[in-house]
Amino acid sequence: MAELQRDPITRSDFLGFGVLGAIMGAILTIPPVAFVLSPVIKTNILGQSDVDPGWVEVGSVAEVKENEPSVFQIEFPIDQAYGTKHIQEEVPESPRSLERFTIRNAVWVSWKAPIKTQGRQGSGGDELAAAERPAILDQKTEGFTQSEREEIMSKLNVLSNSCAHLGCPVRWFPDQKLFLCPCHGGLYDINGGYVGGPPPRGMYRYTQAEVREDGKLYVKHEYDAGPEHREKGPQEPYVV
Amino acid sequence: MIGRMRTQTTEASKFLVDWMEHRTGIVTIMEHFLYEPVPKRGAWLYTLGSAVLFTITLQFLTGILLLFYYVPTTDHAWNSVSYIMTEAYFGQLIRGIHYWSANFLMAVIGLHMGQVFFSGGYKAPRELNWVVGVILLLLVIGLAFTGYLLRWDQDGFWASVVGMKIGSYSPFVGAYTINFLMGGDVAGPGTLSRFFALHVWLLPAAIAPLIGVHLYLLRRHGVFGSEFEYTERLAKLHERQRLEEYADYELDDDDENGRDGGGSRRE
Ligand code: HEM
Ligand code: FES
């Protein structure tokens, strides 16, 4: 080593190399790294989301039967890569129209079955009474008053089909009266409560859901998951 | 007549080979690359590494061919794979090889690692080649993971979602990892682009030079387990055992003489 340094490095050399090196290094590394990490910066650090924060119509609550969850396909507009809004607005007539750039979610809607005894981990879930469908729905399917809407919402389970284990789409099996996940066999009851299998908690619920005068349910892309819902389990939620 | 032609062709090819050898050293290089002394015992096990190299080469060749039709966008990916399977000549063969060779690759890598492990081939002076091998394994796992999403069908999509969510449980970096892979906070067009970039460019570009390093290091030390190496190691082992026994006797002697606190300690 020593022979290589024929000229000793002076202090000003050292500083010059150091400063220049730092500047050159920054010029060379920051742009590509920020380029690749921009989604991480936008979502994790700046807290933005690709999903449109607006309301999306789910369907008429009167369609939801007693003792059997109904599934609704909904689409949230997203703004990701070539799904970006201004591109869609510039060329609205192209097949890349607004609704092609959505993520499809399935919403399972059911009437709450009152819990008779709260289950504990490993007990096979809660013991449930029969689900209660509000009587008002037999008389009308729209034009509800404020108090009627509140009653409906208090009895409604609005569940995401994204399994709380690793996100596979769960489905209701009428014979077993359970939601079953195809990936690793997670089981949930009609309320979305945990029954068995690997999921660490019950199904994700939509936290922003409302019934309007037209008798339809509307939701936003928000779930009871995340740091503010720690008591539901140790996991971070990624509802994709 | 035929005899003369034969001698002429052999002479011509000999001339050609000599000509190339003089200018490029190609023959020496080929000999150097192709001939490798391996131990007599369990010689077939030493082909496992070559089997890995062969399947990876297949992956590169068929992967490049797939790229002639594959379209990495959410609205066309599935259709383009379907086109490969139904319309393109030998599309099923090319994609089938890419798929099955990817699966065999994982199995053969496992066997190759097992062979190196159980024969002690990772020991000095070959530790670094084991390290390079582990990096290669991780890169191949990365390729297998990112390739599956490219089909953009239910199988590939949900397997990738499950895989990404598993990553999201990592302590501290989980949330960043999954959003990095998804290119946002949902699996969408950005996700497919990223997986495509990783599968087709980044990971193959990283794997190729490391394979070179792996082979270079292999050539430098040869495969482990030549008879010579065994005898030498055994001799060293016996020598060490002998010395240890000898040292034990000496310690015993010390004990008998009694410890007087001031006794010098041997290492
Ligand atoms: C060790 C190397 C590799 C492994 C383990 C691997 C693995 C895979 C796997 C598992 C798939 C999904 C196949 C399917 O389910 O149909 C896939 C797809 C694909 N791979 Fe690779 N791959 C490798 C290298 C490459 C390379 C080098 C390229 C191109 C330069 C490539 C291009 C593609 C393309 C275009 C597809 C999508 C078409 C399809 O799904 O059949 N792969 N790869
Ligand atoms: S993803 Fe549902 S059980 Fe694993």
Predicted local confidence at residue B257, as pLDDT: 52
Interface test with B, best of A37, A38, A40, A41 (most B CBs within 10 A): A40
- Residues sharing a CB contact under 8 Å with residue A215, sequence separation 6 or more, in sequence order: A60, A61, A62, A140, A141, A142, A143, A144
**Range from A36-40, A130-134, A151-155, A215-219 carrying the lowest mean pLDDT:** A130-134
Q: How many domains does chain B have?
A: 2
Half-sphere exposure of B89 (CA within 13 A, CB side): 0
Region B24-36: mean pLDDT is 81
- Position A97 confidence tier, pLDDT thresholds 50, 70, 90: very low
Considering only the beta carbons, identify the residue of B166, B183, B184 that sits closest to A166.
Answer: B166
B91 and B211 together in one domain: yes
Residue B166 lies in a domain: no
A70 and A40 together in one domain: no
Chain B: give the shortest CA distance to residue A161, in Å. 13
Check: CB of residue A32 under 8 Å from CB of residue A182. no
A23 and A112 together in one domain: no
Burial of A58 (0-12, 13-18, 19+ CB in 10 A): buried
Q: How many domains does chain A have?
A: 2
A13 and A66 together in one domain: no
Is residue B175's pLDDT more than 90?
no
A151 and A226 together in one domain: yes
User: A148-160: per-residue pLDDT in tens?
Assistant: 899 899 999 999 9
Give me the CATH number covering residue B77.
Answer: 1.20.810.10
User: A18-66: per-residue pLDDT in tens?
Assistant: 999 999 999 999 999 999 999 999 988 998 888 888 899 999 998 998 8
A vs B: CB pairs below 8 A: 84
Residue B175 lies in a domain: no
| Residue range of the domain that includes B60 | 43-161+206-222
Predicted local confidence at residue B204, as pLDDT: 97
Is residue B266's pLDDT more than 50?
no
Check: CB of residue B158 under 8 Å from CB of residue A162. no
What is the rounded distance in angstroms from the CA atom of residue A219 to the CA atom of residue A208? 6
Rounded to the nearest 10°, the torsion over CA A27, A31, A33, A39 is: 160
| Residue range of the domain that includes A183 | 56-232
A88 and A129 together in one domain: yes
Of A219, A95, A91, A204, residue with least CA distance to A153? A219
Residue B135 lies in a domain: yes
Residue A124 lies in a domain: yes
Predicted local confidence at residue B264, as pLDDT: 46
Comparing alpha-carbon positions, the chain B residue that sits nearest to A169 is B158
A138 and A44 together in one domain: no
B121 and B253 together in one domain: no
Residue B84 lies in a domain: yes
Residue A158 lies in a domain: yes
Chain B: give the shortest CA distance to residue A201, in Å. 15
Of A221, A193, A217, residue with least CA distance to A207? A221
User: B192-242: per-residue pLDDT in tens?
Assistant: 999 999 999 999 999 999 999 999 998 888 777 655 566 677 778 888 888
A161 and A127 together in one domain: yes
Residue A4 lies in a domain: no
Interface check for A98 against chain B (CB to CB < 8 A): the answer is no
Chain A residues touching B174 at Cβ < 8 A: 236
Is residue A92's pLDDT more than 80?
no
A90 and A19 together in one domain: no
DSSP letters for B201-233: IIHHHHHHHHHHHHHHHHHHH--S--HHHHHHH
A170 and A210 together in one domain: yes
User: B101-139: per-residue pLDDT in tens?
Assistant: 999 999 999 999 999 998 888 887 889 999 999 999 999
B127 and B91 together in one domain: yes
Q: Running DSSP on this structure, what letter comes out for residue A82? A: G
The whole-angstrom distance between residue B168's C-alpha and the CA centroid of its chain comes to: 27
B95 and B217 together in one domain: yes
Residue B242 lies in a domain: yes
A26 and A92 together in one domain: no
Of the listed ligands, the closest to the CA of A186 is 2
Q: Kindly report the pTM of this predicted structure.
A: 0.82
Predicted local confidence at residue B261, as pLDDT: 47
B212 and B245 together in one domain: no
